[in-house]
Amino acid sequence: MATIVILEAHIREESVDEAKAFFQKIVPDTRIYEGCLASKIFQDEKEPTLLLMVEDWESEDHHRKYLDWCTKTGMLRKLLRFLSGPPNLRYYHSLDL
């Protein structure tokens, strides 16, 4: 089942530029990972320390495999160093209405 994944990350003020550069580097790899249909990063206009990643995946399982890969490669640990608090990760499934 197609899944939308939303990651909301609050970045430490002094790390915003470094975090944006990090995302610019990793998003192309995310987009070619098996099951990823799209990946975009947004920055809040009024709160520039708030970044939002919106991804479209073939399934939640595909995304979880991607997260396992991020953990194994150390990418997740690199991301966490920019954060001012824990990220908020949510999965959404479309309703067949």
Instruction: Convert the pLDDT of each residue in 39-78 to its tens digit.
Output: 999 999 999 999 999 999 999 999 999 999 999 999 999 9
Residue 40's pLDDT is what?
96
Task: State the CATH number of the domain containing residue 78.
Answer: 3.30.70.100
Burial class (CB in 10 A: 0-12, 13-18, 19+), 19: buried
Whether the pLDDT of residue 85 is over 90: the answer is: yes
Structural domain count, the chain = 1
Q: Residue 96: its pLDDT value, please?
A: 78
- How much is the pTM? 0.89
Q: What is the pLDDT of residue 61?
A: 96
User: What domain range includes position 29?
Assistant: 3-93
Cα–Cα distances in Å, from 67 out to 2, 19, 40, 62, 75?
17, 18, 16, 9, 9
